[in-house]
Chains A and B, each alone.
Chain A
Amino acid sequence: MTSGVGNPCNKNFGQGRRTKAINSDLPWKELTKAGNIYEPGNSNSYETGDWRTLKPVWNEERCIHCLICWRYCPDASIIVTNEKFDSFDYKHCKGCGICANVCPAHAIDMITEEQQPLKKKEAKKDE
């Protein structure tokens, strides 16, 4: 017989931050039971920003803060503060370019990652 009595999967319960137990470096006994996920919103920790080949940059002078980009962004990567465009969430922005496409004021440009250093009012760390 390969393992002892009792369910080793249960040893995981009650260890607090159980999302830590979802990690492909861990052995089977230390993973959560059946791959259950115990903390909501954990897709935030999966950074899709490195999928990007083109990145959006903001032209502050042209922006009219209509927030159409915010509405269209499929990855919720437009950060808005006080009902005004604030910045892009580059940790999660995949660079699809929808924001640039829908912007009526042409205030978003898509550039290659190497083309230009980041401007002052860009990626804010999410919390």
Chain B
Amino acid sequence: MNNRVALTGNEAVAQAMKQINPDVVAAYPITPQTEIVQFFSNFVNNGQVDTEFVAVESEHSAMSAAVGAASAGARTMTATSSQGLALMFEVVYIASAMRLPIVFPVANRALSGPINIHCDHSDAMGLTNSGVIQLFSENAQEAYDNMIQAVRIAEHPDVLLPVMVNLDGFITSHALDILEVLDDETVKNFVGIYNPEEFLLDVKNPISMGNLDMYDFYFEHRRQQVAAMEAAKKVIEDVGKEFEKVSGRPYGLIETYKLDDADMAVVLLNSAAGSAKGVVDELRAKGMKVGVLKPRAFRPFPFEEISTALKGVKAVAVLDRAETFSTLGGPMFADVRAALYDLKNDIKVINYVYGLGGRDLRLEDVEQVFNELDEIVKSGKTDKVVNYLGLRE
């Protein structure tokens, strides 16, 4: 293929948005997402897209404007990071409850305080219960591919939920990386023309959206959202298969790397999964049976796929780039451990919290994790369930 380009993660996302050519983008700048909006507004200014760009005064307004536009029947996007996502919080819940297919990239960044602009997943993990679909991207390529697929997933009639496309702030957003881009026509055909089944500006079929629910309806409508999230699993896989046909790159709910015969595995999201693959290659060369599991979808959480993929391993370390303050480790640890519970296979599962506030995950750190898993497999004992990786003790 000769469409290999060198782009930063933010450029790749903006490029995907340009090719998708959404009807409305409402966004507010925040580090490290700023460039996405900046590049995209250039496309708007240069007439390279037909998008109505709404320059709002805050992220709360950005998502509110997106809710309005999506309700009106527009293919709608926004973008944010960290504090911006936190400010968006209440409106994200409204977008998902109103079943609006808004797609928004999030360049993952730590939440204040202490004030920090660097990568971790605290922002995304703050919205795991909001009813949005969350996809994670290892590198610029996946961020680009996820953006294009997100449109189809969000707008699928079985789903109709917002989709958040996560990429690591700075590590992915600001690093120049090699990726293959699709041509404009392919993207245009893949996302198709947006024909919402119902929308506010459909004067022939008037509709009232975002209505008040009392205790006699709220519970039922929440249950409908769960059903949509369940349906999203199949849709994410189907869209992934279809995307493979046009791109040659397969996508599912999870990605496994050298896991088939592995005794030990690490589970981690985004760019760190790439570093872990590098370490796995080195350790495999030394004869260690190690592998990587990278969830691509975190909401809906692929319980079945994860328990199937890990059922043969003896010890698993879940690496979380966010803290829950439950005092039992990070958010993904809880979910992965729950997924493995019913297997009753006595798989040892431990947790590492790493990389908070942009702390680099070094290859030695990942190696250390595998060495400790090796100890656990040999001794059959787990000393510490929750650990901190790369922390000064």
Contacts and interface: CB of A to CB of B under 8 A. Distances in A.
A and B touch in the complex (CB under 8 A): yes
Interface of A: 1-3, 5-10, 13, 22, 24, 26-29, 31, 33-40
Given A9-B227, A31-B217, A38-B198, 12 more contacts: A1-B230, A2-B226, A8-B224, A9-B224, A13-B197, A24-B217, A31-B221, A33-B160, A34-B99, A35-B211, A38-B205, A39-B206
Contacts of B228: 7, 9
Contacts of B157: 7, 10
Contacts of A29: 224, 227
Contacts of A36: 198, 207-209, 211
Contacts of B217: 22, 24, 31, 35
Nearest to A27: B220
- 9 tightest A-B contacts by CB? A28-B220, A37-B208, A24-B216, A7-B158, A28-B223, A40-B206, A34-B99, A9-B224, A35-B211
Contacts, number: 71
Interface in B35-78: none
Nearest to A30: B220
B158 A10 contact: yes
Task: Count chain A CB atoms within 10 A of each CB in B205, B231, B234 and give the residue with the most.
Answer: B231
Given A2-B230, A6-B158, A35 B205 contact: no
Nearest to B228: A7
Contact of A33 (B99, B208, B230, B234): B99
Nearest to A33: B99
B171 interface: no
Contacts of B226: 2
Contact of A6 (B211, B216, B223, B231): B231
B159 interface: yes
Nearest to A9: B224
Nearest to A10: B157
A34 B221 contact: yes
Nearest to A3: B227
9 contacts: A5-B158, A6-B231, A7-B160, A10-B157, A24-B217, A27-B220, A33-B99, A34-B99, A36-B209
Contact of B224 (A5, A6, A13, A28): A28
B97 interface: yes
Nearest to B217: A35
Contacts of A3: 227, 230
